[in-house]
Structure 1
Amino acid sequence: MEITSKTNQKVKQWVRYHQKKYRDEDQKFLIEGEHLIEEAIKHAAIECIMVRKGVKHAFSSYPCYVCSDDVMDKLSMSVSKADIMACVSYLKAPMKWGNRLVLLDQVQDPGNVGTIIRTACSFGFDGVILSDQAVDLYNEKLIRSTQGALFHIPVWRQSLLEALEICHNHQIPVYATSLHKAVTLSDMKRVSSCALIFGNEGSGVSPELLAKSDQNIIIEMTAFESLNVAVAAGICMYHFRKD
């Protein structure tokens, strides 16, 4: 099917997904670019493909809408404007609890969260849990920052206090990054299971969660007291990576 008008009902529906409230309402979001679509096909439910007129693609087995330049430019949120996009259903929370988890406490920057998800996937972690106050999982910048890892590792939103209770019930040790009462990361033994808590870019891990931590950890540095949360998370996840 070809779409040439920006006022087409399908276009209006897709444009709504630029806003969180409409994504949540329909449980759908948009992705841009061939690479993300290829990754989504492996683990997600793709509703349809939108492609710029004249652009060839390899996704003919899915419902496809051939769109004019005006329509694609309206749908795309990237600076370079995508030639191909897809509408995807929200991802489902995992049915089983993993042994190696990353918990993000009110982390707000979508680029940071996307990078952490990608790193967690790369180092063999089983899932990433976002607190209720963390950035929206389906933010366009966050999705782009994951480079497709979002479709390879479970990521879901949950009360972190509830998540920590489950971790303790499963005898999963909990480690939080903090400057207070902490041991250096290099002194921590690698373990087969763990839950790592990383906090808000400005305020760090909340006191309520620190009180539930089995051990606070700090990354030894020669200058400054703190690192960008995505950098700190990457260093810690590498230390506790899955062999």
Structure 2
Amino acid sequence: MSYSNLEFHEVRLSEEGVLHVEINRPDRLNAMNEPCWTEYGKIFAQAARDSDVRAVVVNGVGRAFCAGLDVVDSAQGFAERQQMDTARAGLKLGEHIRDFQLALHQAHLINKPVIGVAHGPCIGLGIDLLTTFDVRFAAKDALFSVREIVIGMAADIGTLQRLPKIVGSLGWVKDVCFSGRNFQVDEAIAQGFIQRAYDSRDDAVNAALEYAKELCKFSPVAMWGTKRSINYAIDHTTLLKER
């Protein structure tokens, strides 16, 4: 399958089967607007059907992984909805958020392992993205924040639901989500949010690509079954019911 003619992402597929996805809005610190996250969701939907893809690596181009939602573009969409009556505006907003959530959720749904690489600012929506990945590497300059509380809203694209299931401390999750404070790589590793740290963005990306290449050596059917079973276990009991 082709991954060309993309506006907001650089995508390359290696001979081994590693799909390397780079968010490419460096002038906006890879903050996402609607066309960007729509394209992101389509890349993963296509990769899920592509038998040549065995693993996926995601990082950002430039100084940041993702500095959040592009609030300038989002404000324009909000202004358009203000012209509607309250009921229709609410329905339209609900549809918009649902589409947004589903686009970012594709990394969780895809039947292949996804490795994310955090570097530079990883703010708000950047955390939403990272929580959808199976494994997370980081450069030592990565700076994290669940920032939504600071602008008067609850994180609504998945962080509040996924983060408590990733890390070991519910108190820590509430701390960073209530305060919106920054935290760095050492703290993220201590809590289990980040699995491996490297000196630079390039080192982290290269390590992730090599790791993904190793995963490509295993049976894709076994990998699919392993990811599906782990994800199912997150929300279900392990008890067997009697026949």
Shorter-chain TM-score range: under 0.3
TM-score by length of 1: 0.26
Q: Which has the larger radius of gyration?
A: 1
Q: Larger % of helix: which?
A: 2
Q: Larger % of strand: which?
A: 1
TM-score by length of 2: 0.26
